[in-house]
Structure 1
Amino acid sequence: MLTIGCHLSSSKGFLAMGKTAHSIGATTFAFFTRNPRGGAAKAIDPEDAAELRAFLQVEGFGKLVAHAPYTLNPCSDKEHARRFAREAMADDLVRMEFLPGNYYNFHPGSHVKQGADAGIEMIACLLNEVLAPEQSTTVLLETMAGKGTEVGGRFEELAAIIERVELSDHVGVCLDTCHVHDAGYDIVHDLDGVLEEFDGVIGIERLRAIHINDSKNPCGAHKDRHETIGNGFIGLEAFGRIVRHPQLRNLPFILETPNELSGYAAEIELLRGLAG
């Protein structure tokens, strides 16, 4: 069965997220590790985390895909922003050990006209500072749409970051369907070709999770505007190929579409139907 879920609010605690996910037919979910538009992190209740771990095991959930805050930019041109990225990610990775063995996804960041090469070096430097040999969490670099000065709009940029990370066995990639489509990768007409390119540049074994979203824009627009499944430029036929693809179908899929819980439940049912 397709492992699929959506972003949920962590305001009511870990176990509440698990029960909410289960109520809409999800078998995974994503959550922000702290305020997505700021820096505050809610204190973790170890008992609540333990109850969620037990719940996930009983209900047969797949790996969770936590998300770093949007404000985290390790290749900013401002020292205080880079310091926040370093401190927040280091803290988040400690906190993730309350839910061991899952994924921590982050946007690589924007180099702010410093140049992609400088951005790549700073992102890799951050990872070398915060990754620990004993951690159980795999950190995922997200594929980006390539708008503005974003790093990660090309597979080569993600590969260059990973090549510079000393503990690269703790690093993978989350492929966002809207982002790669907007970046110019034709997943609608040439999904196999895109995955072959990913494998040749990064290595398909690095692909650990999918953000599954339609796009409001045509391929190559570099806009990053998500749409509900089947109502954008990617379309239902392409999503059927994505969820059935042998290199993708066993990965956790996370919906980030503009939706409420009832809409997510409908999309989960729709995509499971397409998966067969």
Structure 2
Amino acid sequence: MLNIGCHLSTTKGFENMGKEALKIGANTFQFFTRNPRGGKAKAIGEKDVAALLEITKNNNFATLLAHAPYTLNGCSADEKTREFALGMMIDDLVRMEYLPNSFYNFHPGSHVKQGVEVGINYIVEMLNTVIRPEQTTTILLETMAGKGTEVGRKFEEIAEIISRVELKDHMGVCLDTCHVYDAGYDIVNNLDGVLDEFDRIIGLDKLRAIHLNDSKNPFESHKDRHEIIGEGFIGIEAITRIINHPKLRHLPFFLETPNEVEGHAEEIKLLKGVYKD
């Protein structure tokens, strides 16, 4: 079975996100933990969460994915920005325990001309501060496209972060198809080679989720602009190979394409049609 979902808005509550996912043919979904451009988090209603958990249980949902806000930059050159990121992640991980055994994905951040190694040091320090042995949440580092001074454009950078996290059993990776293609990993013409490289450097056992996006820009553009499935430079043929690959097909796939919910429903229908059960 294809485990597929899209990004849904939390404004209507957790139960309604679960119902909306079912309505569009999804069996999982992604959501922001708080305002993606700010720091304020909406209060969690325990009954609302309980209703969602009942939906996920009764409908065999795959693991849910929470996304940290874009303002979380734990490797910023500004100390206050780093402190803000630390506090936000601590709070998010407490809140995530309302949804046990879920994923929490975040962008490693931008080192802002300090250098990659300095950025990695800050990220590792943040993760070693926030991760608790008893948490059920797995924290995912997202692969990045390499625009500006982003950390995470290379598998080696992701691997170094994970290797230096003390409680690394709570760590994983979310591979974004648009990002890795834009970063220079040719998943269109050499998917097996890219996966072999990922396995050699990071380990495929750490790959826990995939952001399934086409790309508005050509290979190695470092632009990070998502496109609707089949309408970009990655294309439906390559995406079909990705969702059917024996090393990937068991993972949950999350659409972050520039579509409304109705458009995501069409994409999910398309992907189910090319998925080989």
* TM-score, normalized by the shorter chain, greater than 0.5: yes
2:12 is paired with a residue whose SS is coil
Q: Which residue of 1 aligns with 2:169?
A: 169
Q: Which residue of 2 aligns with 1:60?
A: 60
* Counterparts of residues 233-272 of structure 1 (less than 5 Å): 233-272=233-272
Question: In 1, Cα distance between the equivalents of 2:118 and 2:222?
Answer: 21
Question: In 2, Cα distance between the equivalents of 1:265 and 1:64?
Answer: 18
Query: In the alignment, residue 178 of structure 1 is paired with which amino acid?
Result: C
* Residues 166-200 of structure 1 deviation map (CA, whole Å, 9 limit, x = unaligned): 00000000000000000000000000000000000
Q: Which residue of 2 aligns with 1:6?
A: 6
Q: Which residue of 1 aligns with 2:182?
A: 182
Query: In the alignment, residue 183 of structure 2 is paired with which amino acid?
Result: A
- How far the C-alpha of 1:275 sits from its partner, in A, is 1.1
Question: In 2, Cα distance between the equivalents of 1:63 and 1:128?
Answer: 24
Question: In 1, Cα distance between the equivalents of 2:153 and 2:3?
Answer: 26
Question: In 1, Cα distance between the equivalents of 2:25 and 2:115?
Answer: 43
- How far the C-alpha of 1:12 sits from its partner, in A, is 1.2
- How far the C-alpha of 1:95 sits from its partner, in A, is 0.2
Q: Which residue of 1 aligns with 2:75?
A: 75
- How far the C-alpha of 1:239 sits from its partner, in A, is 0.6
Question: In 1, Cα distance between the equivalents of 2:35 and 2:260?
Answer: 19
Question: In 2, Cα distance between the equivalents of 1:271 and 1:81?
Answer: 39
* Residues 147-176 of structure 1 deviation map (CA, whole Å, 9 limit, x = unaligned): 110000000000010011000000000000
- How far the C-alpha of 1:270 sits from its partner, in A, is 0.7
Question: In 2, Cα distance between the equivalents of 1:153 and 1:127?
Answer: 19
1:254 is paired with a residue whose SS is strand
Question: In 1, Cα distance between the equivalents of 2:269 and 2:12?
Answer: 25
* Counterparts of residues 159-238 of structure 1 (less than 5 Å): 159-238=159-238
Q: Which runs of 5+ in 1 are unaligned?
A: none
Question: In 2, Cα distance between the equivalents of 1:219 and 1:268?
Answer: 25
* Counterparts of residues 91-110 of structure 1 (less than 5 Å): 91-110=91-110
Query: In the alignment, residue 253 of structure 1 is paired with which amino acid?
Result: F
Q: Which runs of 5+ in 2 are unaligned?
A: none
- How far the C-alpha of 1:274 sits from its partner, in A, is 1.3
2:30 is paired with a residue whose SS is coil
- How far the C-alpha of 1:88 sits from its partner, in A, is 0.5
Question: In 2, Cα distance between the equivalents of 1:265 and 1:101?
Answer: 26
Question: In 2, Cα distance between the equivalents of 1:256 and 1:56?
Answer: 21
1:86 is paired with a residue whose SS is helix
Question: In 2, Cα distance between the equivalents of 1:64 and 1:131?
Answer: 19
Q: Which residue of 2 aligns with 1:125?
A: 125
1:262 is paired with a residue whose SS is helix
Question: In 2, Cα distance between the equivalents of 1:219 and 1:275?
Answer: 25
- Percent of residue pairs identical: 66
- How far the C-alpha of 1:245 sits from its partner, in A, is 0.3
Query: What TM-score does the superposition give when structure 2 sets the normalisation length?
Result: 0.99
Question: In 1, Cα distance between the equivalents of 2:267 and 2:143?
Answer: 22
- Pairwise CA RMSD of aligned residues? 0.5
* Counterparts of residues 23-38 of structure 1 (less than 5 Å): 23-38=23-38
Query: What TM-score does the superposition give when structure 1 sets the normalisation length?
Result: 0.99
Query: In the alignment, residue 255 of structure 1 is paired with which amino acid?
Result: L
Question: In 1, Cα distance between the equivalents of 2:163 and 2:218?
Answer: 31
